[in-house]
């Protein structure tokens, strides 16, 4: 452990801890059920236990960690049932965003969406999963913003974060990339012609398919203990 905390960005120490720990959960570096020891985390990030505690509290409020009184915190473990409910919610939230986007996006937003979407076609041809993932994220973010409703935006982003650990490997399924793009295309087309209902349906279907694709991995992922280090240590 190095002495400085320059690894993490700006803000108060608590915010840094929230981001640091939250990121590790969202990226799957910390696995569901894994114990989050205050002392170890404090030592790991070279801060005292206080900001770590506060961070765990906030992450708990966000649903990313689970806190048992006097018994420590663990990375939130989601049951199959709860996972399904989150995916279903995600589908509905995306449907709302797509519907609103179809009705409300400015013409420059529409243009941006289409350009980026067309740009991502290239990644599909090249089979560049990593790059496509970037476009994919951006695509969905555009939908959330395009809804012009900050609260829906927040709810959606939040839900998406919590699902992130389970969506990780979806694009590794053969042919998933191209299918994803086609699904996006349906959404874009509907939005561009202002058809809210169709956009909503297309978005809902899209997420539902992702859900099924991810569930495969989620099941196999769940009971597995932490083995090798997926992401390199910092």
The nearer residue to its own copies, 116 or 205, going by C-beta atoms, is: 205
d(CA 10, CA 155): 25
The distance between the two most distant Cα atoms of the chain, rounded to a whole number of Å, is 56
The nearer residue to DNA, 64 or 163, going by C-beta atoms, is: 64
Among the listed ranges 9-17, 109-117, 123-131, 211-219, the one in contact with its own copies (CB under 8 A) is 9-17
**Whether 191 contacts 147, CB under 8 Å:** no
**Whether 69 contacts 166, CB under 8 Å:** no
Residue 27 binds to DNA (criterion: CB under 7 A): no
Quick one: 125 exposed, middle or buried, by C-beta within 10 A (0-12, 13-18, 19+)? exposed
Quick one: 144 exposed, middle or buried, by C-beta within 10 A (0-12, 13-18, 19+)? buried
Least distance to its own copies, CB of residue 59, Å: 8
The nearer residue to its own copies, 54 or 138, going by C-beta atoms, is: 54
d(CA 184, CA 191): 11
The nearer residue to its own copies, 120 or 156, going by C-beta atoms, is: 156
**Whether 201 contacts 162, CB under 8 Å:** no
The nearer residue to its own copies, 81 or 130, going by C-beta atoms, is: 81
Q: Restricting to residues 52-91, name those near DNA by CB under 7 A.
A: 53-54, 67, 69-73
Among the listed ranges 102-110, 119-127, 143-151, 206-214, the one in contact with its own copies (CB under 8 A) is 143-151
The H or E element spanning position 216 is helix 196-221
Residues of the shown chain interacting with DNA in the complex, contacts defined by CB under 7 A: 1, 12-14, 36-39, 47-51, 53-54, 67, 69-73
User: Which residues are near its own copies by CB under 8 A?
Assistant: 11-12, 14, 50, 53-54, 57-63, 69, 81-82, 85-86, 88-89, 92, 96, 149-152, 154-155, 159
């Amino acid at each position: 452990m190095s002495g400085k905390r320059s690894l993490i960005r700006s803000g108060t120490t608590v915010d840094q801890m929230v981001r640091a720990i939250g990121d590790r959960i969202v990226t799957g570096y910390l696995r569901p059920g894994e114990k989050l020891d205050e002392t170890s985390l404090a030592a790991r990030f070279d801060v005292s236990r206080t900001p770590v505690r506060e961070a765990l509290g906030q992450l708990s409020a966000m649903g990313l960690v689970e806190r048992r009184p006097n018994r420590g915190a663990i990375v939130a473990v989601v049951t199959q049932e709860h996972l399904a409910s989150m995916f279903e919610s995600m589908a509905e939230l995306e449907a709302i965003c797509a519907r609103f986007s179809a009705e409300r996006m400015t013409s420059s937003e529409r243009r941006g969406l289409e350009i980026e979407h067309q740009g991502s076609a290239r990644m599909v041809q090249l089979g560049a999963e990593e790059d496509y993932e970037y476009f994919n994220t951006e695509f969905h973010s555009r939908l959330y913003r395009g809804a012009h409703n900050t609260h829906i935006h927040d709810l959606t982003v939040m839900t998406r974060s919590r699902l992130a650990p389970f969506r990780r490997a979806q694009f590794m399924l053969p042919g998933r990339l191209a299918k994803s793009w086609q699904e996006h295309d349906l959404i874009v087309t509907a939005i561009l012609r202002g058809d809210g209902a169709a956009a909503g349906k297309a978005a809902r279907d899209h997420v539902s398919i992702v859900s099924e694709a991810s569930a495969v991995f989620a099941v196999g992922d769940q009971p597995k203990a932490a083995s090798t280090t997926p992401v390199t240590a910092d």
